[in-house]
Structure 1
Amino acid sequence: MLVVGGGSVGLLAAALLTHHGVPVVLVERRSGPSVHPRATGIGPRTVEILRELGLDTAADAEAVDLRSSAGKAVARTVVEMGAGDVVTVPMPTPSADELDTMPFRLRGVCSQDRLDAVVAAYLARRGADLRWSTRLVGIAQDADRVDVELAGPDGRYSLRCARVVAADGTHSAVRTALGVGTSGPGELGKSMLNILFRADLRPHLRGMSFATCTITTPEAPGLLATVDGETNWVFHVACDVEGNERQEDFTHERCTAVVRAAVGDPNLAVEVRSVLPWRPRSCMADRFAVGRVFLVGDAAHTVSPLGAFGLNTGVADAHNLAWKLGAVHKGEAGAGLLDTYAQEREPVAVATLDQAMRRLPDPDLHWGRGPEADAARTAAGVWAAPVVHLGQRYDSAAVVDPQPELPSTVDLAVTLDGSPGSRLPHAWVDGVSTLDLVASRWTLLVGGAGDRWLTAAADVGLPAHRVHAPWLSDDGSMLVRPDAIVAMRVTALVPDPARLLTDVLDQVLARPTPVPVPVSST
């Protein structure tokens, strides 16, 4: 399997494929993982995926502890934080019900470069074939294989592989070579610069901390975001900060002056490490799959930044695809299973892009808390952020009797009700989360009176666990996919449970002779 692109989504795609027993070659045009933190908002679904790989603790160790932080601040300059013109906005605090929907949360923000380092180390431990300074220059496919031409440090060469996962960004070379167009609003707002710099701001912070601070000084208005909360930062600033500047005007010397103005210290020692131009965009590929090639992350969809949905949607793409590629690679599923990748992820991308765009005119639609903010969101058709991250549902051939309609776009606990196509609800079973019980395998959960289901699971070769929860009837069962998505829910015992489980797996996995399965689910 070839993965093109070594950003966060590409690295995690390679890690997940490796996790599912698929040999991987990853190619990336840069010389190594990016040192530039393009994003810091690792969402709860991404955290669950890291947990599945055993990387949640490592990511948490790299996160900046913001549990007692002001979260989001607004100030004229950093030096003036704490004066009368400073507004602090607490980070969105999950309700008790929301906390009950997940087994683990990061203690704060983990910048993308730190996440990449964690995943790259995992791949190195697993012996993955990572080819840096290598770019794709050609691609062709037939019914059996994909032929790619690569240019690396030692020249050009060809590689023949079973399938390709394209995670090569907004301007995807793979997508372009395949002739796949994009649709959507496209570029949004002004061209921006992301200035990565090193400076000790601790004397000016005076013990305060934040995830982001909106700087309002006319000399350098922008957004300051923490990387480590002490000496490493990024500053997002519009290219025309003085009204007529271009990207090329922002030399390291000019960037140093901008950072000093934003901090409010003209003598601040600043080391500009990297300057990354970017522009908010919102667009989606016309197709997520072409034959044996699959688009994930920004190659498939570029999400405007408010809400931090972009990276996390891309990681969820890779998570959805990896177990399916693994099942086909190992002969456990028919190739038709791969058709469900686009069936499932395209509608999620459409909904996510829509939710990001609805927030764009007014950031309070995302950050606001309280009855007035809830009313404003309802009027604007804005879902609660946890529902965008965790509550979306799949409707495809890989789900039996899917229930795609969301019962709530406000309350995640209501949305995660165990319906087929939704993410399995989290519950503790003898101190272990139901999500951890799945452990990347097909798993059967049974109710309190589910002895016959347990016997049937053993006959079929499925791991099974008894769960007492309101979303699982006492004599019912729930078949869960390796990606923790509910594939089937049965509310009562059936005459031949082993046969039912076999037929369902044949159907969902697109095995050669799938059998239509009548199942009553709620």
Structure 2
Amino acid sequence: MNGNTVSTEVLIAGGGSVGLMLAVLLRHHGIEPLVVEEKPELSPHPRATGIGSRSVEILREVGLDHAVNDAAVDLRAGKIRGRTLAEADFTENAQWKTTTAAALTYTPARIRGTCAQNRLDRILVTKAGHVQFGVALDSFEQDSDGVTATLSDGRVARARYLVAADGVRSRIRQILDIGLTGPGAIGHETTSVLFDADLRPRTPFAMCNIEHPDATGLLVTVDGVREWVFLTRLDTEPTPELIRTAVGDPSIEVQIRGVLRFRGRGHVADRLSVGRVFLVGDAAHAIPPLGAFGLNTGIADAHNLAWKLAHVLRGEAEPELVETYHAERHPVALMTMEQAHLRFNDPSLHWGKDMAEARKAAGAINAPVVHMGYRYGGAELPSTEDLTLDLDGSPGSRLPHMWVGDGVSTLDLVGSRWCVLTADPSVRTDIPVHVVDDWPYGTVLVRPDGFVSRSYSQHTDPRCQPRIPGPGRLTRG
């Protein structure tokens, strides 16, 4: 190829959190992608702050969970409210940390608070390999062997596969003429004000509803010390005085660093793949901004797609394997979008206490189940409230977590490869077998992404099985 042509196995268009996460995961599986990002640098704006337990599990898999935990803000209160921050009641959610982290028995994931998306991106980019900023994908064509893309710097990129991680207005999705399903734009336009101010000692907290009539909005922590976001409805340019009013301190020094205006959206692309092109993250789905579902759903997209692409590219699976990406992730995206929309219309379904009956009446699912309880293959969930009942070792569900050693989880045993977990020491197969004492879930075949592919000890409806053939032949004795 000439100097104006670059070659890569996977071209990722978009260097936001999901595009970077996909690059990290592909490299974890031995595939070196090329990431091109239209913006000249990482976004300084937080955008989202809630990293769910399933995302932390994925970060743990690639060895980045400790770095993200270090970048997270240790909180003593979660969501609080007040006329101003100075008047907020910090005891309102004083137990938020213990009830959302330390008490989790279904996951090895631990994160001490919130980690803003811009802080996450700084970590991901260090492990994402070849990332080129200031370069956009202008056009592309695909054939039976790959994709040829024209880049904004005049080069031509040839790739085996193309992944669109180029955001909610995805140019790649538009070129493919993929339709959208969902309510579309919802709510009012919101102004997001990124600012610096020393708010100690009124910290830390995750977010604070400000009820002052001249500065109504939501104050969100970024680093817990100096970096913050104020979300408000505003027809004019934000000023430091607006922030001082919200904080309740007319003397505080405020520096506004950036302003974004956005409106919530709810839609899912009708197809998440066309030929050799795949959609992930906001290019695949826009999730209404309540519940911290959007970023986490995108990270799960990347996790599902990465191992499948790697298996095909390494010659360990037929190309049909990657076609299961749409079949598995599309129903999850629709469910998640619908759940976020329900919460957008009635936030008490998410933030309220003892809301199980109200959620049932509204058709809402408890947040941990939305994040992690879904199943590939369409099987009905045992519970829409209790995640521990959903993680029962059934095909299509995430492998149950058990501690099997000092800081070692059954999820760690998977090691990003096919394996078998069992309590039966007589099980033999040509892939790794992990014998776990007191394992109550029978003998299960586990995929590289930690989802149960098959159960060898229970009768299961074939319609509930993921349409992915498991490798190896399993025998006993």
* TM-score normalised according to structure 2 size: 0.92
Aligned to 2:5: none
Aligned to 1:46: 55
CA deviation profile, 1:453-481 (whole Å, cap 9, x unmatched): 1xx22xx2x111112345423xxx21100
Aligned to 2:86: 79
Cα distance in 2 between the residues matched to 1:484 and 1:94: 25
The answer (yes or no) to whether the contact 1:97–1:413 under 8 Å persists in 2 is: no
277-286 or 266-275: bigger deviation? 266-275
261-270 or 317-326: bigger deviation? 261-270
89-98 or 353-362: bigger deviation? 89-98
Instruction: Report deviation, 1:95.
Output: 7.8
Local SS of the residue matching 1:272: strand
The answer (yes or no) to whether the contact 2:403–2:409 under 8 Å persists in 1 is: yes
Q: 1:441-452 residue pairs with structure 2 within 5 A?
A: 441-447=417-423, 449-451=424-426
Instruction: Report deviation, 1:304.
Output: 0.3
The answer (yes or no) to whether the contact 2:16–2:42 under 8 Å persists in 1 is: yes
CA deviation profile, 1:300-357 (whole Å, cap 9, x unmatched): 0000011010000000000000000000000000000011100000000111111111
Q: 1:63-462 residue pairs with structure 2 within 5 A?
A: 63-66=72-75, 69-82=76-89, 88=93, 90-91=95-96, 94=99, 99-123=104-128, 128-152=129-153, 156-203=154-201, 205=202, 208-239=203-234, 245=235, 249-250=236-237, 254-370=238-354, 373-395=355-377, 404-431=379-406, 432-447=408-423, 449-451=424-426, 453=427, 456-457=428-429, 460=430, 462=431
CA deviation profile, 1:132-172 (whole Å, cap 9, x unmatched): 001111111111110111113xxx12111100111111000
The answer (yes or no) to whether the contact 1:12–1:315 under 8 Å persists in 2 is: yes
Q: Give the alignment partner of residue 449 of structure 2, picking from 479, 483, 503.
A: 483
**2:404 partner letter:** V
Cα 1:87–1:437, aligned 2, differ >3 Å: closer, same or farther?
closer
Cα distance in 1 between the residues matched to 2:135 and 2:95: 43
Aligned to 1:6: 15
Aligned to 1:242: none
The answer (yes or no) to whether the contact 1:41–1:110 under 8 Å persists in 2 is: yes
* TM-score normalised according to structure 1 size: 0.84
Cα 1:468–1:8, aligned 2, differ >3 Å: closer, same or farther?
same
Local SS of the residue matching 1:163: strand
Cα distance in 1 between the residues matched to 2:173 and 2:470: 27
The answer (yes or no) to whether the contact 1:427–1:469 under 8 Å persists in 2 is: no
**2:81 partner letter:** V
The answer (yes or no) to whether the contact 1:332–1:509 under 8 Å persists in 2 is: no
Cα 1:146–1:466, aligned 2, differ >3 Å: closer, same or farther?
same
**2:371 partner letter:** H
Cα 1:387–1:82, aligned 2, differ >3 Å: closer, same or farther?
closer
CA deviation profile, 1:4-53 (whole Å, cap 9, x unmatched): 11111110011111111112100001112111100000011100000001
Cα distance in 2 between the residues matched to 1:438 and 1:257: 53
Does residue 37 (structure 1) correspond to residue 46 (structure 2)? The answer is: yes
Cα distance in 2 between the residues matched to 1:167 and 1:232: 27
The answer (yes or no) to whether the contact 1:75–1:87 under 8 Å persists in 2 is: no
Instruction: Report deviation, 1:70.
Output: 2.1
Local SS of the residue matching 1:79: helix
The answer (yes or no) to whether the contact 2:190–2:232 under 8 Å persists in 1 is: yes
Q: Give the alignment partner of residue 432 of structure 2, picking from 455, 458, 463.
A: 463
Instruction: Report deviation, 1:88.
Output: 4.6
Instruction: Report deviation, 1:256.
Output: 1.9
Instruction: Report deviation, 1:99.
Output: 1.5
Unaligned 5+ residue runs, structure 2?
1-9, 459-464
Aligned to 1:508: 468
Cα 1:278–1:89, aligned 2, differ >3 Å: closer, same or farther?
farther
CA deviation profile, 1:201-238 (whole Å, cap 9, x unmatched): 115x1xx4210000011111110000111111011111
The answer (yes or no) to whether the contact 2:453–2:470 under 8 Å persists in 1 is: no
Local SS of the residue matching 2:345: coil
**2:113 partner letter:** G
Cα distance in 1 between the residues matched to 2:40 and 2:19: 15
Cα distance in 1 between the residues matched to 2:470 and 2:147: 22
Structure of larger gyration radius: 1
Local SS of the residue matching 1:99: coil
Cα distance in 1 between the residues matched to 2:303 and 2:51: 15
Cα 1:82–1:465, aligned 2, differ >3 Å: closer, same or farther?
closer
CA deviation profile, 1:160-200 (whole Å, cap 9, x unmatched): 11001111110001111111121210111111111110001
Cα distance in 2 between the residues matched to 1:202 and 1:97: 26
Cα 1:50–1:420, aligned 2, differ >3 Å: closer, same or farther?
same
